[in-house]
Amino acid sequence: MNFLQLTFIIKSKFLYKLGDNMFSEMIEKDAKTIVLEQTAFLKVLFGKLRDENTNIEQFRFAADRIIYLLLQRGFDFIPVNPKMVHTATGFDVDACEFSQDFCSVAILRSGEAMEKSLLDLWKTTILGKILVQRDEETLEPKFFFSKIPKDISKRHVFLLDPMLATGGSAGMAIKLLKEQGVLEEKIIFVTLISCPEGINRLRREYPNINIITACIDEGLNDKGYIVPGLGDFGDRYFGV
């Protein structure tokens, strides 16, 4: 963080310039960590998502749109083969088809909210689940349940969790995927809001996974929530 950013934070503890990703300087940058381009459209969506007065309909709308953009970027990691197609006007044109299978694994409960946009992008995606919950005292994750495809080691995996906070749950989910034979290179971790702590931890523990995030926030408060963040994603998306 440079001097200007620091004075900005000290002067206005509760005023953040949303969407500028000034905290992206605090992560160990590499080609496998992708932060979406901060377009005006994305900033509008984030404004809605972060506003405490946003109602459930607006929250779902903004979240779904951002998740769609993230996943669309994530599809660039699925390998393709060239293919020729014949058009209705009589031409042969170059096209592509996916050359490897993929699936998603949602980290319950919030990750499930990301499945809608994935199905909007690719209707037949197989949807796996992992239930890892963090112990509210230690903030460390505990594994409860998983249901994932038997042939997951042959697939690329979109690992879904909208908020990357400490990185504990995501780390445990990645460990489980690796135990099932999934290569780190084939894991595409997709998250709306992340923070330096979470990204740096995943990078240290799993250097070869791919991470796609829409925004990097300042850090964590003493309850393990991302700040400025948006509060509890699951509560706001599911309404309960």
Residue 103 binds ligand URA, judged by CB under 6 A:
no
Alpha carbons 210 and 208: distance in angstroms, whole number: 7
* 235 a catalytic residue: yes
Residue identified by tokens 């996916």 is 98
* 33 a catalytic residue: no
Closer to ligand URA by CB, 182 or 220: give it: 220
Shortest Å, Cβ 84 to ligand URA: 46
Please identify, among the stretches 6-14, 137-145, 203-211, 227-235, the one whose residues bind ligand URA according to the rule CB under 6 A.
Answer: 227-235
**Angle between helix 56-74 and 40-50 (nearest 10):** 140
Return the residue of 154, 225, 228, 238 that touches ligand URA, per CB under 6 A: 225
Shortest Å, Cβ 164 to ligand URA: 8
Alpha carbons 215 and 101: distance in angstroms, whole number: 28
Residue 165 binds ligand URA, judged by CB under 6 A:
yes
Return the residue of 23, 59, 102, 233 that touches ligand URA, per CB under 6 A: 233
Peptide bond into 228 cis (omega under 30): yes
Q: Which residue in the list 51, 76, 135, 235 is annotated as catalytic?
A: 235
Shortest Å, Cβ 215 to ligand URA: 12
Strands 80-86 and 92-98: antiparallel
Q: Which residue in the list 20, 51, 138, 151 is annotated as catalytic?
A: 138
Return the residue of 163, 173, 182, 190 that touches ligand URA, per CB under 6 A: 163
Footprint of ligand URA on this chain (CB under 6 A)?
Answer: 110, 163, 165, 225-226, 229, 232-234
